[in-house]
Every structure is written in C-alpha cells, then in structure tokens.
Amino acid sequence: MIVDGKTLLISTGDFSPTSLDHSRELGVIVTDTSTLKAVQALFSRDVAGIPAQPTPIPSPTVALPTPAPIATDTPLPTSTPPATDTPVAITPVVTETPQLLAPGPTATPLFADVTPTKIVLPILP
C-alpha cells in the first residue's frame, strides 16, 4: 500500500480482519524515495496492464557486507542473546554435511526423497 506517494507498507498480511487480528504477520513501513518510486512504477504498470519485468527495488539503507562463510573446522561462535521478551533456547547446530547439495554429478536433487505432496499456503480471506 502506497499512501500519498510518501509511505509504503510492505507486509505479509492481507488487508483482512483475520490478518490484522488473528494471524502473525510482519510488515515494514518504508519512506525511502527510490524504493517508493520503484514500487509506484510497478503498481502503475499493473494498473495499466503492462507486462513488467521484475523490478529490482533498491534497499532503503546501505547494504552491509556479507559475512564470510564459517569454515567447517572452525568452532561455532557463541550466540549473542537477542533482545527478546523471553530467553531463547539455542539448540546446537546440526553439523553433518548436507547430503542433497553435495557437489558432483551424483548429487541427489533436492526433494528427491520426499513424497511429492504439493504444499500451497492459502491466501487468507
């Protein structure tokens, strides 16, 4: 939802009582001008029925550097307790090598061993 061309709400929630009052939804309010322009342009094309290629929407803030991957033989760092209302139970990270993404021509495709049940989350009324 874009309000007055100045405020943008991007949210997981529908505009419905169920989403507002009974579901866990998360949204963010954006005032970044470049993001607003990009979304407004996309919306305008949709209203006009113009097929649009995916529009890269700039981040509203400066991108942070991507943390370097942790080497497999490096001890896991101690987790910093997040600011929560309640203590968070941190379960040790599983350390076995993922099988489905193993490199090489014999790699097993993801989902290969899973019963092909299609999961489609519904759009709430």
Partner 1 sequence: MRSPPNAVFGALQAARGRHVMVRLVLEQQPYGMGSYAADPAYNFLQTYVGQVRWGGQLAFRYTHASYLVADGARTFIGSMSWTDTGLGANRELGLIDTDPRVASAGERVFNADWNQRKLHSAPNAVVVSPDGARARILKPDCNRTQVHRHLHRATHRSGDNPRAYRVARLWPASAGGYTKRCLAGLSAPAPLQVTIVRQPYMDARA
The footprint of partner 1 on residues 1-20 (CB under 8 A) is 1-2, 8-20
Query: Could you give the CA distance from residue 32 to residue 3 in angstroms, rounded to a whole number?
Result: 13
Query: Could you give the CA distance from residue 47 to residue 71 in angstroms, rounded to a whole number?
Result: 49
| Among residues 53, 61, 78, 106, the one that binds partner 1 under rule CB under 8 A | 61
Q: Hey, which residues does 11 pair with through a beta bridge?
A: 27
- DSSP class of residue 51 equals -
| Among residues 53, 78, 106, 117, the one that binds partner 1 under rule CB under 8 A | 117
3 state SS of 114: coil
| Among residues 53, 78, 84, 106, the one that binds partner 1 under rule CB under 8 A | 84
Residues in 19-48 at the binding interface with partner 1, rule: CB under 8 A:
19-30, 35, 39, 42-43, 46-47
CB of residue 43 vs partner 1: minimum separation in angstroms? 7
| Among residues 6, 53, 93, 104, the one that binds partner 1 under rule CB under 8 A | 93
107 belongs to the binding site for partner 1 (CB under 8 A): no
Q: CA torsion, points 43, 46, 47, 51, in degrees to nearest 10? A: 140
CB of residue 112 vs partner 1: minimum separation in angstroms? 10
| Among residues 53, 85, 105, 106, the one that binds partner 1 under rule CB under 8 A | 85
Residue 31 identity (one-letter amino acid): T
Query: Could you give the CA distance from residue 123 to residue 91 in angstroms, rounded to a whole number?
Result: 32
